[in-house]
Amino acid sequence: MSIILGIETSCDETGAAIVRGGQEVLVNLVASQVDVHREFGGVVPEIASRQHTTVISQLVRKALDETSEVPDAVAVTAGPGLMGSLLVGLSYAKALALAWEKPCVAVNHLEGHIFSAFLGDPKPTFPFLALLVSGGHTMLLDCRAPHDYEMLGTTRDDAVGESFDKVARLIGLGYPGGPAIQKAAEQGDPSALALPRAMRKRGNLDFSYSGLKTAVLYALRDNPDLNPADVAASFQEAAVDMLIQKCLQAIEETGAGRLVIAGGVAANKRLRERAYQDLPVDVFIPPFAYCLDNGAMIAAAGDSLLEHGCIANLRQTANPAMPLTAMA
Binding site for Zn ion (CB under 5 A): 134, 293
| Residue 130 Cα to chain centre, angstroms | 12
Query: Which H or E run includes 74?
Result: strand 73-79
- By the rule CB under 6 A, 161 interacts with ligand KG4: yes
Q: Which does 164 bind (CB under 5 to 8 A by kind): Zn ion, ligand KG4, none?
A: ligand KG4
Q: Which is nearer to ligand KG4, 20 or 37 (CB)?
A: 37
Bridge partners of 155, per DSSP, are: 207
Judged by CB under 6 A, which stretch of 36-44, 242-250, 260-268, 305-313 contacts ligand KG4? Answer: 260-268
Which residues, 6+ apart, have CB-to-CB distance to 161 below 8 Å?
133, 134, 135, 136, 138, 178, 263, 264, 265
Among 15, 22, 89, 136, binds ligand KG4 (CB under 6 A): 136
> Does the bond joining 146 to the residue before it have cis omega, within 30 degrees of 0?
no
Q: Which is nearer to ligand KG4, 97 or 322 (CB)?
A: 322
The nearest distance, CB 87 to ligand KG4, in angstroms, is 17
- By the rule CB under 6 A, 112 interacts with ligand KG4: no
Evaluate whether 117 touches 82 at the Cβ level (below 8 Å).
no
Judged by CB under 6 A, which stretch of 49-57, 117-125, 258-266, 296-304 contacts ligand KG4? Answer: 258-266
- By the rule CB under 6 A, 178 interacts with ligand KG4: yes
The nearest distance, CB 240 to ligand KG4, in angstroms, is 9
User: According to CB under 6 A, which residues from 277 to 296 bind ligand KG4?
Assistant: 292-293
The nearest distance, CB 251 to ligand KG4, in angstroms, is 22
Q: Which amino acid, 83?
A: M
DSSP 18-60: EEETTTEEEEEEEEE-HHHHHTTTS--HHHHHHHHHHHHHHHH
Q: Which is nearer to ligand KG4, 22 or 264 (CB)?
A: 264
| 151 three-class SS | strand
User: According to CB under 6 A, which residues from 289 to 328 bind ligand KG4?
Assistant: 292-293
Can you tell me the distance from the alpha carbon of 131 to that of 66, in angstroms, rounded to the nearest whole number? 33
Q: What are phi and psi of 204, to 5 degrees?
A: -90, 175
Query: In the complex, which residues of this chain contact ligand KG4 (CB under 6 A)?
Result: 11, 134-136, 161-162, 164-165, 176-179, 182, 263-265, 267-268, 292-293
